[in-house]
Amino acid sequence: MISVFRCSDYVQAQLLAGLLREHNIDVYLQGALLQGGLGELPAVGHLSIMVDNADQVAAERIIAAYERGDMELDEEDAE
């Protein structure tokens, strides 16, 4: 497995993991269980989205599209 995204925001990490799963990419969220220790641990980049090596390019493209805002819903989609 290889890391394709690192962050400190648990909600963002779960959102991206769900997005990747929607595209049939198996995801492992490394560091998710550290959420309980945030008061004692530095909270910088402790979450890492891991995918199989074969899915790396597809996952990086999906994440890049998300970061560009290509995955943003407009008002018609929200209804």
Q: In the structure encoding, which two tokens stand for residue 41, read together?
A: 């641990």
28 residue type, one letter: Y
CATH number at residue 32: 3.30.70.1530
Kindly state the DSSP code that residue 31 receives in the 8-state scheme: T
Q: Which of the two residues, 43 and 65, has the higher pLDDT score?
A: 65
Kindly state the DSSP code that residue 14 receives in the 8-state scheme: H
Range of the domain at 7: 2-78
Helix (H) or strand (E) holding 47: strand 47-51
Q: How far apart are CA 36 and CA 61, in angstroms?
A: 31
Share of the chain above pLDDT 90, in %: 48
| Interval 27-63: pLDDT, tens | 999 876 555 555 555 555 578 999 999 999 999 999 9
Q: What is the count of structural domains for the chain?
A: 1
Residues with Cβ within 8 Å of residue 67, at least 6 apart in sequence: none
